[in-house]
Copies of this chain bind each other. A is one copy, B any other.
């Protein structure tokens, strides 16, 4: 992240620098504290009406920190942890596909993905508006290991694919994930 920190060089960016430092400090401090105090997967960010039953949110953790945690858990293959960040009625918009609703559908999706793809996300940029909307852009480094329904045959093809997602955060949980990537580009890379 620091390689993109152009702020300190420029006179007009004190506010941005302040925000960057604030975010960095809070991320490292709060996430460390949270991991130490809440070893079980939990839901963070600021609930509008206080923490929901069964959640263990950490006060003061922002929506963008929640999204950062979501992708950290993805890269660790921690599906339980990811699902704990979701609202029960989470809406999940599949790339170029339909909307699925609810944690069980989300969990089934993660498991289907895990059977067919080995993926790590890198260069993750998390974006926010500080009011419950967030986004992320990243690059997927993947391997297509088992044929997915309706798609070309898998034979261990590797791919590098930019992607992004948009989020709504409600009551300290992720209430919507809308995923996007260039399916045409992916199909070309796996030799469809």
Contacts and interface: CB of A to CB of B under 8 A. Distances in A.
Given A6-B46, A46-B6, A164 B180 contact: yes
Interface residues of A, number: 49
A119 to B, nearest CB: 18
B183 A16 contact: no
A106 B32 CA distance: 44
Nearest to A126: B129
Contacts of A47: 10
Interface in A45-60: 46-50, 59-60
A120 interface: no
Interface of A: 1, 4-7, 9-13, 15-16, 19-20, 22-23, 26, 46-50, 59-60, 62, 64, 93, 96-97, 125-135, 137, 162, 164, 166, 178, 180, 182-184
